Amino acid sequence: MSYEVMAGLVGTAILMGIGVPILVALGLGTIYLMWVCNYPLLVVGQVPFSGIDKFAFLAVPLFILTGDIIAHSGMARQLVRLAYAMFGWIQGGLGASTLIGSGFFAAISGSNSATAAAMGRMMIPEMESKYTRDYSGAIVACGACMGIIIPPSIIYIIYGSVAGVSVGALFIAGILPGILMIAFMCVANYFMCKVHRYDPPVQKFSASELLKAIWDAKFALIAPIIILGSIYGGIATPTESAVIAVAYCLIVSFLRKKMKVSDMSGLFLRSGVVCGVLMPIVALATLFSETITMLRIPSLFTNAILGISESEIIIMFSLFLILFIAGMVMDTTPIILILVPLIGPIVTNLGLDPVHWGIAMITTLTIGFVTPPIGINLYVVSSIAKIPIVTLFVKSIPLIIAMLLALFFIYVFPQLSLWLVQFIL
Amino acid sequence: MKKNVNSEDYNKNKPSMLNLLKRVFKFLDSKIEEYAITVFYFSFTVILLNEVIRRYFFAASTDWSEEVARFLFVFLVCFAAAYAVRERGHLRISIIDNLVSKKIKFYLYIFYDICFLILAVAIIYYSVQIMQLQIRTDTLAMSESLRKLNLNMAYVYAAVPLGWALMIYRLIQRFILTIKEYKEGKLE
């Protein structure tokens, strides 16, 4: 690697580090690298179009919109009530139902920040009386990580398009790891409640209450069935299933008289704006990773990592560390676009399944949502509940440890992600 | 005094061409991205929904819907990116914000905006070259129905220079606002 190339890479990292918007740092870095290596620069004008012009990406705003509609129309509250009817009788039942409710919500919404915003506004005021405000915020922030693990998920769509993996397979593969992470967090929450004497059980389990809650939440529960069913029934592509889900959620909200036509433009705008932030990064990060691939940097990287040790476990652990640290300091989308081409060859070398690896990678990156300095869930919850970010993080630590334990199982047992895929597809 | 206000009021509302243009410009300036985002977003959703319904219930399909929806999405992204510039909403690593004084932060903001400007100018320059290339080589869309319209891809491609030019406009607007806020000591 020549000094000019080295300077380009370091320069890009410095620009990002001093806070230049990620898309600008990637764009300028790429232009410099291409200019140094005499690559045709015309592609710089092409990629802001061709990098976005993919049918799969249309699902990104739509799967955020579905969640916004569900939250706006009050259906999200029914989902939490259902979770409370299931687990409200245990100590810490309200926290557990917030975590499980986030899971239900995530089965309709594809974004973690939308999940954090919706659950935060709804559950923090309710939990405050039984827990401390800080700990309730931590539960919401960690639960919202499920937003991109449980399908549908905008991150699976982006990973699928970079790594050339079927988005449908990723959606299915995410189900069991997501449930496992929620279960581990519920156990951690139970122990926290025992220690701090939070939220003692007040009611007994009642089957009739549960059935009533299921009946009340029926319209919200049909939405994930429509999304996954239309994909696996071969009726629709993931993008089309997102359109069907949006139409379904809108119709139900109108029928329940919880939505006015005038509300719609605001909802469309909010999820549309997210694309303006994500998609230019996707376009320029794609160009960046293509450029470094032409410079053969991925093979240098592969050799360096594979050179660390013969042992598969140590290599896996070092990949985990790279992803974990990257997730702490950067946003998920650019990490996936830059690191997938770098890590891909190593993973193939180890003989891992790309679907399993995708799930392992994305579950690792989600922990970055609740760790400073760049933890989007922390920012969202802190702005809703007026809790300092550091306090929120400290209170999240038990739940983060639970997620790390779940990650261990996800890494070690590929069957967790692959079994359902083999079963259904 | 009172008379003065009235005459000023009258001047403001005088139905002249210039005033009308001013009002139209002011309206566009404050709302153009919001309207563009909503319209593009809504129309590709409707197109795709129509396509799914046609295919599932009437076993009929069109060859243009997917392509048109994609193009609308690119337009949506370009306007939404300009909206994000206006709100300083583009993702960045903000660790440094808490470490530096307000003065350094102000200079950093100026530096970010200059970097953004350089990138935007480069993208506009090369995307216009691509458009010229498309016009020279008569590049058409993929689907048969769109080919019949004889629509050059350069029209669709115009989304990129248009969107990034709008971003430059918003950058300059925000740049001036940042300087003003800094002078008044209100920079967050």
Angle at A327 between CA A324 and CA A328, to 5 degrees: 90
What are A237's two structure tokens? Answer: 């592509």
Cα–Cα separations (whole angstroms), residue B64 to A46, B61, B147: 22, 9, 10
Query: At a CB cut-off of 8 Å and minimum separation 6, what does A411 contact?
Result: A316, A320, A360
User: Closest approach of chain A CAs to the CA of B74, in angstroms?
Assistant: 6
For residue B1, pLDDT beyond 70: no
For residue B3, pLDDT beyond 50: no
Would you say A63 and A242 are in contact if contact means Cβ atoms under 8 Å apart?
yes
DSSP state of A373: S
Query: What residues of chain A, 26 to 45, have a C-beta less than 8 Å from chain B?
Result: 27-28, 31, 41-45
Would you say A322 and A365 are in contact if contact means Cβ atoms under 8 Å apart?
no
pLDDT averaged per 10 residues, chain A (length 425):
88 92 94 92 92 92 93 90 91 92 94 92 91 94 94 94 91 94 95 89 85 92 91 87 94 89 88 91 92 88 84 89 91 91 87 92 94 88 91 94 95 91 83
How many CB pairs below 8 Å do chains A and B form together? 176
User: Closest approach of chain B CAs to the CA of A37, in angstroms?
Assistant: 17
Compare all CA atoms of chain B with the CA of A18 and give the residue at the minimum distance: B96
The reply to whether omega before A61 is within 30° of 0 (cis) is: no
* CB proximity B130 to A under 8 Å: yes
What are A256's two structure tokens? Answer: 């329940």
pLDDT (tens digit, 9 = 90+) per residue, B124-178? Answer: 999 999 999 998 988 888 787 878 888 888 889 999 999 999 999 999 999 999 9
B152 three-state secondary structure? strand
Query: What residues of chain B, 12 to 41, have a C-beta less than 8 Å from chain A?
Result: 34, 37-38, 40-41
The pLDDT of residue B188: 67
The pLDDT of residue B6: 52
* CB proximity A76 to B under 8 Å: no
For residue B89, pLDDT beyond 90: no
* CB proximity B187 to A under 8 Å: no
How far apart CA A182 and CA B174 sit, in angstroms, is 43
User: Closest approach of chain A CAs to the CA of B128, in angstroms?
Assistant: 7
Q: Find chain A residues with C-beta within 8 A of B129's C-beta.
A: 42, 45
Q: Which long-range contacts (CB under 8 A, 24 or more apart) does A289-293 make?
A: A289/A337, A289/A338, A289/A340, A289/A341, A289/A342, A291/A30, A291/A33, A291/A34, A291/A37, A291/A39, A292/A9, A292/A33, A292/A341, A292/A342, A293/A341
For residue B2, pLDDT beyond 50: no
How far apart CA A421 and CA A173 sit, in angstroms, is 6
Query: What residues of chain B, 56 to 75, have a C-beta less than 8 Å from chain A?
Result: 56, 66, 69-71, 73-74
* CB proximity A235 to B under 8 Å: yes
How far apart CA B42 and CA B38 sit, in angstroms, is 6
Q: Which candidate in B73, B109, B137, B162 is best for mutational testing of the A interface (most A CBs within 10 A)?
A: B73
Would you say A8 and A24 are in contact if contact means Cβ atoms under 8 Å apart?
no
* CB proximity A86 to B under 8 Å: no
* CB proximity B52 to A under 8 Å: yes
- The residues facing B140 across adjacent strands are B152
Of B38, B40, B39, B66, the closest CA to residue B52 belongs to B66
Compare all CA atoms of chain B with the CA of A40 and give the residue at the minimum distance: B126
Question: CB A20 to CB B112 under 8 A?
Answer: yes
How far apart CA B160 and CA B128 sit, in angstroms, is 9
Of A47, A157, A202, the closest CA to residue B130 belongs to A47
Query: At a CB cut-off of 8 Å and minimum separation 6, what does A275 contact?
Result: A60, A61, B73, B76, B77, B80
Compare all CA atoms of chain B with the CA of A376 and give the residue at the minimum distance: B91
Query: What residues of chain A, 103 to 162, have a C-beta less than 8 Å from chain B?
Result: none
ipTM value, please give it: 0.90
Q: How many CB atoms lie within 10 A of CB A199?
A: 22
